[in-house]
Structure 1
Amino acid sequence: MDSSNERSGTLLLWVFVLSGFSGLIYQSIWTQYLGLFLGHSSYAQSLVLLLFMGGMAGGAWLVSRRSDSLKRPLLAYAVIELVIGLMGLGFDPLFQVVTQWAYDSVFPSVGSGGVNAVRWSLAILLVLPQCVLLGATFPLMSAGFMRIMPNIEGRVLSGLYFSNSIGAACGALASTYLLLPWVGLPGTILSAALINILIAIAVYPLSKIERQPAPVSKSAAVGSGGELPFVLIVAGLTGASSFIYEITWVRMLSLALGTTIHAFELMLASFIAGIAFGGLWLRSRADRLTSPLATAGWVQIWMGLAALASMFVYANAFEWVGWLMRVIVRSAEGYGLYNVASGIISLLVMFPAAFFAGMVLPLLTLALLRRGHGEKAIGQVYAFNTLGAIVGVLLVVHVLLPLIGLKLALATGAAIDLALGLILLHRYQPESERRITPLRKALALSLAGMFVAVAFVHFDPLMLTSSVYRHGQTTLAAGSKILYLEDGKTASVAVYETPNPHGTVGSVRSIATNGKVDAGMATGITEAPSADESTMVMLAAIPMSMKLQYRRVGVIGFGSGLTTHTLLGSSRVGQVDTVEIEPAMIAGARHFGARVERAFNDPRSHIVIDDAKSYFSSSPERYDLIVSEPSNPWMGGTASLFSKEFYAFVPRQLSDDGLFVQWLQLYEIDPELVSSVLTGMLANFSDVHAYLANESDLILVASPKGAVPALNSAAFSDPLLSADLKRVGVTDLREMQDSFVMDRQALLSYVGKYRARANSDYFPILQLNAPVARFRQANVSDFSAFLTAPWPIARHLGAVPARPLSAKLAGLPLHVVRKWQAARDIHSIMLEDRGETRFVSPGDRLAAELLRSRGKNCSLDADPKVSAEMIFSLAIETVPSLSAEEQVDLWKKPAWLACVPEDELVKDALAIVGAASQNEHDQVLVAGKRILEGKDAKFVLGNETASYYLIGAMQFAALATKQPELSRDLRERYDGSLLPVVRNSSPLRLVSDMASSP
């Protein structure tokens, strides 16, 4: 063989690596682009795959029609790569212009009935031309390569399959781990486009040495005529089985590894890598095969058996993941190690079967080439294989998974391959080797493998729903029971009961998506409510306490159905449209029974199976209220409901005085990611307020025009809604007001403290980084800390009155409620009320008793620094929680003080706390200034408790009296003297930022 041709061939292999690299980037990024427009429903996902596969099949088929007549296939290949690159350069601006035009002009004019047809048509126009061109690349490259290096068709085809596939595997990883975080969707697709242009430049010179195809010898080894239709059918069926495997494996592994963008791309890369190395193994052997189709028969047998064996491997994956979660350090570096391990687990499950799948198409194509079907056979086999993949996708998503589940869906794919293998062996085993024994062996292996896998592999439902990738537990708690388990079109949904985690009587019933619990409720109505219940009830009750009437309400995400149920507890609601992607979620939620019955039985309830953005955009009427409670943002497809583009979209769906309510987790997330969500929301709504339903669930209420209304008692005028609120501890307006934490000004200070780029559909910060935060078990405590700060900032911002001492011990599961209970106990201890004091901490109890004793004995001056520290410490626990009237005897005119202290530090400490307790902000500033300029300033600034309270009280006074210059002066003068733990504390930073803002 000519050495120059050998070098050219090597260069073409490297070029095809880049082609696979860019092609997989397109597939990954187009899926995300079209997901934004079509939504993330199962039908939209199927359509995206249909576009990719159908377009590529069409391109391959068109090439097969003209391949033999093309004089320079490599030149045609270079031109196509150039055109793909040029179209890639303009894809992002074109997509944004077209979709914005559709939302603004087309959808409102065609009505809900025509929206789907319009958006699917536009999606086809946006992507299908490039898909057709991509489909033409493999047969053109193969034809050109074989003309440069003739008579080694098997080596050429296998080498190209390896090169293209290994490039695709690398592209899957690079797009997610490198390009998306660096340059976002626009930059990633631009990178792929530039690679295409580079490929065209590299291939053009090689196209000049192409020669016309040599006559192909027709070997009788293939058998008698009629092979072409049969081989094409085999190519289609094996394509269908391969995609049944891929989709089923992804769904299975998502239960063990998590439903994140990183996990998905690792699985995809593992599958493609298996195909690549299958082609590599065949490369040096293909041309020596006597009967490629007989070999393909054995390959199909081994592929089916490997797929069945993957069930046994998968059954152990949960134990492996559980071990990883227990031994890997929960850090960003640990997450990288976890991803490596996840990739290895994915390879163990997918690689063997995918390895054999990588040999099938080269063998089928080689057989047709030997039979004399010419270069067109390359495109024909590729086209039918891709068409089969389309059938496999539709079959597994819409038929197999919903009807028979993961295990039998995988077994169905294996049965197809085993049957194909047996038929191929029966038809094409060479005469010289035709004996009954090999076929019987293949049949025996097939039957035994199918029997063993179906009979002995058991996927324990308690294991599948364990969410091992979050907590490391490989099964649900002892005593748990599964009530419902369905492998739906987009996710696996389970409803189960677990014993009460706090050891009390009763159990918790939960609904989970791919193992992630979306909602949990106490099974019995008399049992203590779960934290999720307070969140779902408050998502409905807070807006219902702001306006008198809501003609039309939209809810994003069904969950358990409790939010919809609660909304319908009010006669002031006209209609509730609840939009849910997964039908199995609706079926599962029925197991909550009477707790959510209004969501199913109330005539005002309208349940819609669709993507929320797509459905709302087609609505002819605007909504008075939209409540968004999707799953956690690290779940696939969910982060787009927390993006700045979504927050720009929502106001257009609201009436002029409408409200938008957003749930946002504060667990498994970090402050910067919360800030990225808030930044996008604050930019698109005129006012936003934040509420806490519990310590880990934030509720944001936004108004597109004007201010967010204040809470009122309207919700308590509806008997059913009032009963739902009472269930979670809220019996009156004052208890509901406990949930208020921040107004727009405070939220702006928060995003100023944790500066982050707004989460965007095109720069998906949340989608990429939320999985890392989840793995690290990050937690955002700033909002709870702000609500319970030593200075009543939240009460001041929301005009919330203090709870009276006579109030009952009830309320939401919030630290602010427990702080009030503890403050009441300290009040009793200091004033010797002799009441029950069971909420105060031992340390605060001791401090209160000691300070009272010193006050009674006139010994505060004996150790003034300790006395001042105790005064500030107890002020932190009482001043923000009690009313001014109830603190007169405690701090303003202390009843526990037998004589006036003489020490300046003690006097000033009592003066500043007394003034703060009465909201006498000017006196706070005066007393604080005396301390900071007095002889004990060094002690106070160096003492964590004293400096924290003093500086914070002065900053709060500056905020309340609107003196930003004073606030900035305090920061400049004293921040450098504070201990780092004080200077960096979240409540102090936030109040300082708010006070210093003009």
Structure 2
Amino acid sequence: MVIPKRPDSAPVAGTAGAGRWIAAGLFVVSGFAALVYQVLWVRELGLLFGNTAQAAALAIAIFFAGLAAGGWFWGRQAPRVRSALATFGLLEIAVAATALGHFLLTDLYHALYPGLYAVVGDLPWADLTLRILVATLVLFPSAFLMGGTLPMMGQFMVRASGRLATTGTALYALNTFGSATGALAAGFVLPIALGFHGAYLLAIGLDLAVGAAALALARHVRPPRPLTENEEQASPPPPARTKATVLLPPRLVDGIALASGFATLGVEVLWTRLFAQVLQNSVYTYSIVLTSFLLALTLGSLAANALARIKVIEPRTLLVGLLLLAAGVIAASPWAFHIATDGLGYVGAGAAWLDYLAAVGRLALVIMVLPGILLGAVLPYLLRIIEATRPEPGEALGRLVAMNTAGAIMGSLVAGFVLLPLLGVSGALLALAAVYPALAAGLLIREPRPWAQRIGYAAPLATAAVALLLVRPGGLTAARLDTVAGERLLDLREGSHATVTVVQRGEHRVIRVNNYYTLGGTMSLESERNRTLIPMMTHPDPRRIFYLGLGTGITAGTALRFPVERVDICEILPEVVDLAERHFAPWNGALFEDPRVRVRAQDAHHCLRHAQVDYDLIISDLFTPWKAGTGNLYTREHYDIARQRLADGGLFVQWLPLYQLTAKELGSIARTMIETFPQVVVWRGDLFPNGSIIALIGSDEDVHLDPDVLVQHGRALAGNPTLPEELLKAISLRFYAGNASASGLFDDFPLNTRNRPVIEYGAPRSQREVHTGEVRWMVGAELGLFYETLAEQVPPADDPYLTRVDETGQGFVRAGRHYYHYRVLGRQGRTDLAQRHLDAFLALTPFAAAPRESNNQDPGSTWREDF
């Protein structure tokens, strides 16, 4: 029998092998560029719409929808095109062209969206529709074209019908491997070396180069000709159709591909949540987890390739075995993770940078690779199942990938927004594991055997699927508690955004995110209140306040002590909002009942960007600098938006956790604020040697501190109009540290921008360097030196911010430094020198205004409420 040869399948003599190898290399580069695009697009849309779980899910869903539609459409076109390789090249060039439009579309968005948001912002459905429209314009065209690359390359590379499974699985492995390397490069190399814009342009350049190379290669391919009988006989024959080998109907194959995508992406979402409980959660650790998952899928495709070569076992039997093994490893993964992390213990604690990355990589490989191989083998092995129907390669690949990707969209959404909140991460993994025995039962029920035998085989698997849906894992917990310190769990939310707990510790309670990030608690009441009191004391009439971050709500609730008109709060984690209202009402001043207060579970930067109000104060809470996404709140672009939202004389307040910053991060943040605000001054949040925080307060240069305002607010807060002026001034001014913008200390530090995010990429390294003793946090003696250097550069008498402060008041400022040194030196055991600083402090400050001592030594929580 002579079968017509498909286009592109007859290269010039002597070039076949080389051409196929070149084409394979191009396909790897194509996968690399596609993942770089995806990482950058998801990040950009997160900045546009807010870094919420819903915004990320929207971006991924639209991207995957484009891939699915493209796979389906271009797969059907693949057998009809004159040259599949040339069409692949044209698709790559078109991807680059539409990707270039990203810059135009985002500029158009920034121009039009604020006005549109003003109209639809209060209508959630209209706002969602607007977001979908913008995201579709940005993502869908390129993703639709990307979806056609695998079908076209498959149409070119699969030369004989009997090689669909082996060649198709190899192609899938090559493309996925390219994606894994792209994820690694996008996480570790490209943003640092090129910036995000440079990384994006590199991906565009790679696609252009791949497209041009494919077009050039296609020119050396002869027009299609039929295979000779000898060539056809030499190709691997398709599996024979016998009574024992009944072909699966196309709809069943489509259903398996759909369900496989559903479970695979759902499991990936849940594994990512598990890893978030024990990692630094920086851009690097996320990149390692994503790369490990893609590497596992690559190995799964290679495993499918090996299985496709097995002829002695019926393909459906192998497929059933794959499905059952996949179910087993997914169901076991929650227990495996808890064993590997010793009950959600922090991974790599105290390790150096490279050792830490190695520890994260080992955990990711142990937990994800074996299950990932099995998950990744199911889809490509379906090519072996359909091979006997002698399909066109491009059409078969496009159809399978389209169904699988459609399932992936549903799986990621259901896992993140339904299963996680409903069952928790461990229960959700068991529920997804149930998909596989259910599929196996569906296959066995179609076996060419009597009904009794079919039911006998399928019934146990169906029972196992139901059991996995109903069983709740025992012996596992989503929260790690310090039982030695007497901690007990009060409440837990495994939500779409994060796992959030409220923990009772002795007399106090705290709120934590993902086990190791404490948002605050009652043990640091003074600290949290001072974050509002200090800036509000300096503003003459603070009426409208905006808070970036809620935490326990204690900080924002303090604003209600003033005659404010409006308090707007945006907190990215809805689980935090719920628990703050439920468990911290006695301490946050009836925050959730006050009609002046609006609390929104949204990304704070997005809220601020689209606010329709000018604020007297914008207060940015303490944010962990190395967490992925947090660095955006320290960028030049963010500070530009904040300045635009300030009323005349308004203040932007950036609180900084010095116990999480080295001199590099502090310098970069300060330099970035100084580039935005004409004047940036530094206020202490405390006078204690450990766990210190400071506020960088940005304003116009004509804003000056008015001591009379301090007295006015102090008397109003105390409810005592006769309190001595000097006492109130002394209490307030000792927290002032100096004028950062006039000092010149930060001129040589790098700017932190969205394109060059030095905080997001530098802070994770600094954290590990501190753990190994290479550098130190800005606390203790390091902070004392900073205070002294700042005062030397701009003494109080020369500080333009203090032009209204008399000599006595300037002495109160110096007194604050002396008291800080007294505490640091006392902690070091240098009592003689400490006493000299205490004497200097007392000489400059009325004795009645001296700070009260505190025995609270909890890092980050050693504060006193002095207003």
User: Structure 2: which amino acid aligns with 1:749?
Assistant: G
Q: 1:307 to 1:708 in 2, by over 3 A?
A: farther
Q: Distance in 1 between matches of 2:643 and 2:448?
A: 67
Deviations 1:180-235 (A, max 9, x none): 11111111111111221221233224432574798997953696687112221221
Deviation at 1:682, TM superposition (A): 1.0
> Counterpart of 1:685?
677
Equivalence for 1:297: 320
Q: Is the 8 A contact 2:736 2:816 kept in 1?
A: no
Report the equivalent of 1:859: none
Structure 1 contact 37–119 (Cα < 8 Å) conserved: no
SS in 2 for 1:139: helix
- The structure 2 residue matched to 1:127, chosen from 136, 139, 143, is 139
Structure-to-structure mapping, 1:688-727, within 5 angstroms:
688-694=680-686, 696-704=692-700, 706-710=702-706, 712-719=710-717
**Whole-Å separation in 1 of the counterparts to 2:139 and 2:846:** 69
Question: 1:210-225, aligned counterparts within 5 Å?
Answer: 211=224, 220=241
RMSD over aligned CA atoms reads 3.7
Aligned mate of 1:608, from 581, 584, 600: 600
Q: 1:555-594 counterparts in 2 under 5 A?
A: 555-571=547-563, 573-590=564-581, 591-594=583-586
Q: How does 1:368-407 map to 2 (within 5 A)?
A: 368-375=386-393, 376-407=395-426
Query: What code does the residue aligned with 1:182 have?
Result: A
Q: Does structure 1 retain, via aligned residues, the 8 Å contact 2:534–2:685?
A: no
User: Relative to structure 1, is the Cα distance of residues 213 and 340 closer, same or farther in structure 2, using a 3 angstrom cutoff?
Assistant: farther
Task: Give SS of 1:74's match.
Answer: helix
Cα distance in structure 2, aligned partners of 1:604 and 1:16? 58
Distance 1:317 1:563 in 2: 38
* Corresponding residue for residue 763 of structure 2: 770
- CA distance in structure 2 between the partners assigned to 1:546 and 1:344 by the alignment: 51
- Secondary structure of 2:669's partner? helix
* Residue 924 (structure 1) aligns with: none
CA drift of 1:624 comes to: 2.3
* Compared CA separation, residues 710 and 403, structure 1 to 2 (3 A): farther
Alignment of 1:311-460 (within 5 A): 311-319=334-342, 325=348, 328=351, 334-375=352-393, 376-428=395-447, 454-459=472-477
Q: Does 1:274 align with 2:276?
A: no
Q: How does 1:21-32 map to 2 (within 5 A)?
A: 21-32=32-43
Q: How does 1:852-863 map to 2 (within 5 A)?
A: none
What is the CA–CA distance in structure 2 between the aligned matches of 1:790 and 1:39, rounded to whole Å? 36
Amino acid at match of 2:698: A
1:613 to 1:379, Cα distance in 2 relative to 1, 3 A: same
CA contact (8 A) 1:298 1:425 kept: no
Query: 5+ unaligned residues in a row in structure 1: which ranges?
Result: 329-333, 464-474, 500-506, 523-528, 724-729, 824-838, 848-872, 887-998
Q: Structure 1 residue 392: deviation in Å?
A: 1.0
**1:59-116, Cα deviation, whole Å (9 max, x unpaired):** 111113323322322211110111222344554x435523432366654576654655
Q: Does the 8 A contact of 1:21 with 1:171 survive in 2?
A: yes
Report the counterpart of residue 647 of structure 2 in structure 1: 655
Alignment of 1:855-934 (within 5 A): 879=840, 882-883=843-844
Q: CA separation in 1, counterparts of 2:560 and 2:845?
A: 39
Tell me the residue number matched to 2:745: 750
Question: How do 1:777-856 residues align onto structure 2 when only pairs under 5 Å count?
Answer: 777=770, 778-781=776-779, 782-787=782-787, 795-796=796-797, 797=799, 798=802, 799=805, 816-817=818-819, 819=821, 843-845=830-832
SS class of match (2:165): helix
The whole-number CA distance in structure 2 between the counterparts of 1:722 and 1:220 is 95
CA distance in 2, matches of 1:192, 1:252: 31
**Is the deviation greater in 757-766 or in 770-779?**
770-779
Is 1:139 equivalent to 2:151 in the alignment?
A: yes
Tell me which amino acid in the other structure corresponds to 2:257: A
Q: 1:363 to 1:749 in 2, by over 3 A?
A: same
Say if 1:163 and 1:666 are closer, same or farther in 2 by CA, change over 3 A.
same
Supply the distance in 2 between the matched residues of 1:876 and 1:635 (Cα, whole angstroms). Answer: 38
SS at match of 2:694: strand
Q: 1:737 aligns with which of 729, 733, 737?
A: 733
Instruction: State the Cα distance separating 1:177 from its structure 2 match.
Output: 1.0
Structure with higher helix content: 1
1:101 lines up with 2:111 in the alignment: yes
For the Cα contact (< 8 Å) 2:322–2:378, is it kept in 1? yes
CA distances 1:309-351 after superposition (whole Å, capped 9, x unpaired): 21122002323985864563xxxxx212211220110111111
> What amino acid does structure 2 have at the position aligned with 1:579?
C
Amino acid at match of 2:595: P
**Secondary structure in 1 aligned to 2:527?**
helix
Does structure 2 retain, via aligned residues, the 8 Å contact 1:108–1:617? no
Counterpart amino acid of 2:287?
E
- Corresponding residue for 1:863? none
Other-structure match for 2:859? none
Q: Which runs of 5+ in 2 are unaligned?
A: 1-9, 771-775, 848-867
User: CA 1:770/1:9 → structure 2, altered by over 3 Å: closer, same or farther?
Assistant: same
Shift of 1:47: 0.7
Name the counterpart of 1:54. Answer: 65
CA spacing shift, 1:51–1:436, aligned 2, 3 Å: closer
1:521 maps to: 521
Structure-2 change in CA distance of 1:180 and 1:63 (3 Å): same
Flag the 1:803–1:756 CA change in 2: closer, same or farther, 3 A.
Answer: closer
| Deviation (angstroms), 1:876 | 6.5
Greater C-alpha radius of gyration: 1
Question: Distance between the aligned counterparts of 2:823 and 2:609, measured in 1?
Answer: 47
State the partner residue of 1:7. 18
Residue of structure 2 equivalent to 1:943: none
Checking the alignment, whether the CA contact within 8 Å between 1:803 and 1:881 is kept in structure 2 is no
1:492 alignment partner, one of 496, 499, 506: 499
> Which range moves more in the overlay, 710-719 or 622-631?
710-719
Amino acid at match of 1:740: Y
Pairwise CA distance, 1:841: 8.4
> In the alignment, does 2:223 pair up with 1:178?
no
Question: Hey, what's the Cα distance between the residues in 1 that align with 2:824 and 2:261?
Answer: 67
CA, structure 1 residues 794+734, in 2 after alignment: closer, same or farther (shift >3 Å)? farther
Structure 2 counterpart of 1:665, which letter?
P
- Bigger mean CA offset, 419-428 vs 317-326: 317-326
8 Å contact from structure 1 (residues 293, 363) kept in 2:
no
Residues 461-509 of structure 1: per-residue CA shift (max 9 Å, x gap): 225xxxxxxxxxxx5643110111111211111110224xxxxxxx331
Contact conserved, 1:553 with 1:623, CA < 8 A, in 2? yes
Structure 1 distance, partners of 2:704, 2:327, is 60
Query: Relative to structure 1, is the Cα distance of residues 739 and 446 closer, same or farther in structure 2, using a 3 angstrom cutoff?
Result: same
Count of aligned residue pairs for this structure pair: 798
Aligned-pair CA distance for 1:299: 1.1
Deviation string for 1:787-819 (max 9, x for gaps)? 4679786654444866999x9xxx9x9875355
Q: State the Cα distance separating 1:542 from its structure 2 match.
A: 2.2
8 Å CA contact 1:554–1:623 kept in 2: the answer is yes
Residues 71 and 151 in structure 2, CA contact (< 8 A), matched pair in contact too? yes
After TM superposition, the score normalised by the length of structure 2 is 0.84
Per the normalisation by structure 1, the TM-score is: 0.73
- Deviation of 1:28 after TM superposition, in Å, equals 0.8
Q: 1:120-179 CA deviation, whole Å, 9 max, x = no partner?
A: 422321222111111111112112211x45531111111011111111111111111111
* Counterpart position of 1:990: none
Query: Are the aligned partners of 1:541 and 1:715 in contact in 2 as well (CA < 8 Å)?
Result: no
SS in 2 for 1:490: coil
Tell me if the contact between 2:734 and 2:817 (Cα under 8 Å) persists in the aligned partners. Answer: no
Partner of residue 667 from structure 1, selected from 659, 666, 673? 659
**CA distance, structure 1, for counterparts of residue 398 and residue 422 of structure 2:** 34
Choose which of 202, 212, 222 in structure 2 pairs with 1:191.
202
Mapped contact 1:738–1:816 kept (Cα < 8 A): no
